[in-house]
Amino acid sequence: MKENILGIDVCSDTYNELTAKLLDDINHNKKSFIVAINPEKIMKAQHDESLRLLLNQATYQIPDGVGVILASKLKKGKIRERVTGIDMMLKLCEAAAQHHKKIFLYGAKPGIANEAKEKLEEMFPGIQIVGTLDGYEKDEVIINETINRSGAEIIFVALGSPRQENWIIKNKEHLTPSVYQGVGGSFDVISGRLNRAPVMFQKFGLEWLYRLIKEPWRWKRQLDLPKFLIRVLKG
Ligand code: UDP
């Protein structure tokens, strides 16, 4: 099920429902593409038609960000829980370990994807991470061959947004994995290079506040939230 928030489709499925759909996509050899939606992206898409089309082309747009939940509530929609990019990735890793699906990690600075691989292997015994590649390799032939030779069925792409989404759209038809998820800075977090917000912040949906304290230069971007909610109410 999808809801439309200011022209952008957002899925109302839970982690478990999405995981079941993604496993089904792999089993039926269907290509699917997961993109994380937050108010910042929705606002940007208001005056960037190509971004709007790009986000709407994804198979599953996950509601990553409390602002999206608030918008759904204001519009009497059904989205009540966030599905964050990193937690969706971890759920998918857990399911992949259980169901013997192969994973590829593409993106982040040299060495980071490998460190993330090691951490995921500790977290999910039996997981098959069949390849990694840093996000600064620019030779498309090397990138395509490394991914296709690995036999991966799921690929996590950590190139930042919208670079990763553009890369997925451009390449997924000639690559062999079924499931493509853009995961931003998640490899940096999983590898332990970047700290995730403490659990209490996560529980109350206050990651934005933690990020604001750690990286104050983001305040300008975050000021868009009230503007976003007013726009949702008017729209
Ligand atoms: N990155 C990359 N290749 C590039 C540019 C960026 O692999 O050419 C990586 C970068 O090292 C970082 C991630 O993309 O790991 C971007 O993370 P960020 O948190 O900025 O992404 P966001 O989710 O905010 O878009």
Q: Where do runs of H (alpha helix) occur along 81-139? A: 85-99, 112-123
Which amino acid residue places its CA nearest to atom 23 of ligand 1?
184
Tell me the average pLDDT across 107-116. 97
Instruction: Determine whether the shortest distance from the Cβ of 186 to ligand 1 is under 6 A.
Output: no
Provide the residue count of the chain: 235
Q: Is the pLDDT score of 111 beyond 90?
A: yes
Which domains does the chain show, CATH number per domain? 2-191 (3.40.50)
Q: Which of 134, 174, 176 is nearest to 155 (CA)?
A: 176
Q: How far apart are CA 123 and CA 115, in angstroms?
A: 13
Instruction: Determine whether the shortest distance from the Cβ of 109 to ligand 1 is under 6 A.
Output: yes
Q: Is the pLDDT score of 209 beyond 70?
A: yes
CA dihedral 11, 168, 45, 135 (to 10 degrees): 120
Instruction: Determine whether the shortest distance from the Cβ of 159 to ligand 1 is under 6 A.
Output: yes
Instruction: From the CA of 184, give the closest atom in ligand 1.
Output: 23
Per-residue pLDDT tens over the stretch 149-189: 999 999 999 999 999 999 999 999 999 999 999 999 999 99
* Residue % of the chain over a pLDDT of 90: 81
Report CA-CA distances (Å) from 217 to 174, 211, 213. Answer: 39, 10, 9
Instruction: Determine whether the shortest distance from the Cβ of 162 to ligand 1 is under 6 A.
Output: no
Q: Decide: 219 and 30 in contact? Cβ < 8 Å.
A: no
